Structure 1
Amino acid sequence: MISDDRIIEIEGLYTRFDSHVIHENINLSVYKGEVLALVGGSGSGKTTLLRQMLGLETPAQGNVKMFGYTRYDCDLDLLRSLRNRSGVLFQQGALFSALTVFDNIALPMRELHCLDEEMIRDMVMLKLDMVDVGVQHANKMPAELSGGMIKRVALARALALDPELLFLDEPTAGLDPALSESFVKLIQALRKEFTLTIVMVTHDLDTLAAISTRIAVLADRRLVALGKLPDIIKIDHPFIKDFFLGERGQNALQSLLAGP
C-alpha cells in the first residue's frame, strides 16, 4: 500500500511505436484530491499517457502504479478492483449506441454481478440526478441525445461505481461555450462533493483555467513543465510560450492567475 497521498506514480516511462518514440523517461505523480491537467501539442502523447495510466496500453519501458500497485503486474481480481476505483469519460462520450441511457449507466454495475436490478435501477436514477439529467431521458438511445446530454450521460456512467479517481479525455470538446461552461461547473461541483482526484487531457484553456490545480506539459517527448501556472509560464520553451502566452491564451491565462 502507498504511504503518502500519491494515487498514480509514473516512473521512467518510455513509449515507442516501432522506431517512433513518443515518451522518453517520463516521471510523474498524481496526488489525492488534485486535478492534474495534461497538455501538449498534437502528437505529444497526452492521450497515450492517459491510456497507459488506465492500463489500456503498455509502455515500452518504465512503471505505472495506481493506488500503490503496478498497473501491469496485477492478477485479474486486483486489476478489477483497481478499475472499479476509477472512472473514465472518453472523448465524445463513447456511449454504446445500441444501449439506452439507462443501460449505458447500468452496465458497470451489472458487471459487478452482485447487485439486483432494483438496486441498479435506484443507483442509475441517482447518477442521472447527479449530472442533472431528467429521468424522462433514461429510455432514450444515444442517437436521440444532444452533444451536451451525451457528455452528461457519459459522466454518469464514469461515476457509476463511485470512483475515487476520474479520468477526463477532452471533457468539453465539441461543446459550444455555454454548454462547456455548464459542464465545467458540474465537474467542479462533483469533485467538491465527492473529493475526486482527476486526471484530465485538454487543449481548451478555459477548461484548464477553471478546473486544474496542477498542469503537466508534454513536449519534445518529455515532461517539460509541471506545476502551477505562474511557475510554468516562466519556463523558456516554444510550446509553453505559444500555448499559454500567445494571443489565444491571454484571456484564459488572466482568469487562471486571478483565481476564484
Structure 2
Amino acid sequence: MSNNDPIIEIEGLYTRFGSHVIHENISLSVYRGEILALVGGSGSGKTTLLRQMLGLETPAQGSVKILGHSRYDCGLELSRSLRNRSGVLFQQGALFSALNVYDNIALPLRELHCLPEEMIRDLVMLKLGMVEVAAEHANKMPAELSGGMIKRVALARALALDPELLFLDEPTAGLDPALSESFVKLIQTLRQELTLTIIMVTHDLDTLAAISTRVAVLADQRLVASGKLADIIKIDHPFIKDFFLGERGRNALRNALTLP
C-alpha cells in the first residue's frame, strides 16, 4: 500500500438489527496518519461502525477493507494478523479485573507464543513508560486504579503489539477536564512518535477540536458529512447545527476555530 491509499475502506455498508436500520449505504475511507473522529447522536451507530472495522461485528451488507484486506472474507491466520496490527481502547478500559496491570499489558504479547518472558517484561515496562505510568503501579489490580490510570493502562495494552491502527471509543469519557487534557496530549504525542492512524468515537468537542484531522458525521442512518472540522460546521444539517453550533459546541470550538 502507498501512503495515498486508504488504510480503511468501507463501501456500501448496511447494518440492521431485525427491522431496525442502523446504517444505510455508508461509504468511508480512512487514510494513513490521520485522526478521524466519528460523531453522531445516540443510536447513530458510531461504536457499531467501530466494532465492524475491528471485525467484532458483521454488517448486513457491504464491505470493510483494513490494510488492503477484506475484514470478513479472510482466513483465520490473516484475520489474526489484521487484529495484531490494530489496537483498541474501549470506553471503560475493559481491563481484566482478575489480572494486575503488568499481566493485562502482557496478555497480547503472551498470546503470540513466541516471546521469552524476559522480553515480555521489557516490552511491558516500555509500554507503561510510553503512557506515563510509573513502574511501581505494575502490580496493582484494576480496582486499585483511578479512572485516568485505567485509561492509560488500557492504552498501553492497546499499543502492546506496536499497531499501525489505533481505535479509541470515547477516550476521555468520565475524566475531569484536567485529566482529559492530559490524556489528549498523550495521544497527540504517541501519534507523532509511533506514526499511528487513529479512529476515534467521541462526543467530547474539546477532544475532537484538539486532535482530530478529519470528522465523519453519522445521522439519519447515513454518513451525512466528512471533512475538516472548519468545513463540517458550515453544512446545513440539523444534527450538525445542534451538536457543533449550540451553546456547548460554540464554547468548545471558539478557541479552536476562532468562532465569534
- Tell me the distance in 1 between the aligned counterparts of 2:230 and 2:177: 25
How many residue pairs match? The answer is: 259
Q: Which amino acid aligns with 1:64?
A: V
- Answer yes or no: is 1:67 the counterpart of 2:54: no
TM-score (norm 1): 0.98
Q: What's the secondary structure of 2:77's corresponding residue? A: helix
Give the structure 2 partner of residue 193 of structure 1.
193
Give the structure 2 partner of residue 107 of structure 1.
107
Is the CA contact (8 Å cut-off) linking 2:3 and 2:32 kept in structure 1? no
Structure 2 unpaired stretches of 5+: none
> Where do 4+ consecutive residues of structure 1 move more than 4 Å?
none
Is the CA contact (8 Å cut-off) linking 2:38 and 2:216 kept in structure 1? yes
Give the structure 1 partner of residue 221 of structure 2.
221
Give the structure 1 partner of residue 43 of structure 2.
43
- Tell me the distance in 2 between the aligned counterparts of 1:88 and 1:97: 18
Q: Alignment RMSD, CA only?
A: 1.2
- Tell me the distance in 2 between the aligned counterparts of 1:147 and 1:219: 30
Query: How high is the sequence identity, in percent, across the aligned residues?
Result: 85
Give the structure 2 partner of residue 253 of structure 1.
253
Structure 1 unpaired stretches of 5+: none
- Tell me the distance in 1 between the aligned counterparts of 2:54 and 2:32: 16
Q: What's the secondary structure of 1:57's corresponding residue? A: coil
- Answer yes or no: is 1:162 the counterpart of 2:162: yes
- Tell me the distance in 2 between the aligned counterparts of 1:190 and 1:181: 14
Shift of 1:249: 0.6
Is the CA contact (8 Å cut-off) linking 1:2 and 1:67 kept in structure 2? no
Is the CA contact (8 Å cut-off) linking 1:98 and 1:141 kept in structure 2? yes
Q: Which amino acid aligns with 2:222?
A: R
Shift of 1:136: 0.4
Is the CA contact (8 Å cut-off) linking 2:4 and 2:32 kept in structure 1? no
- Tell me the distance in 2 between the aligned counterparts of 1:87 and 1:205: 23
- Tell me the distance in 1 between the aligned counterparts of 2:150 and 2:253: 29
Is the CA contact (8 Å cut-off) linking 1:2 and 1:68 kept in structure 2? no
- Residue deviations 1:93-121, cap 9 Å, x none? 00000000000000000000010100000
- Tell me the distance in 1 between the aligned counterparts of 2:105 and 2:51: 21
Please list, as runs of the form range in 1=range in 2, the aligned pairs for 1:83-232 lying within 5 A after superposition: 83-232=83-232
Shift of 1:3: 8.1
Shift of 1:134: 0.5
Shift of 1:2: 6.8
Q: What's the secondary structure of 1:184's corresponding residue? A: helix
TM-score (norm 2): 0.98
Shift of 1:254: 2.0
Q: Which amino acid aligns with 1:179?
A: L
- CA change 1:3–1:175 in 2 (3 A) is closer
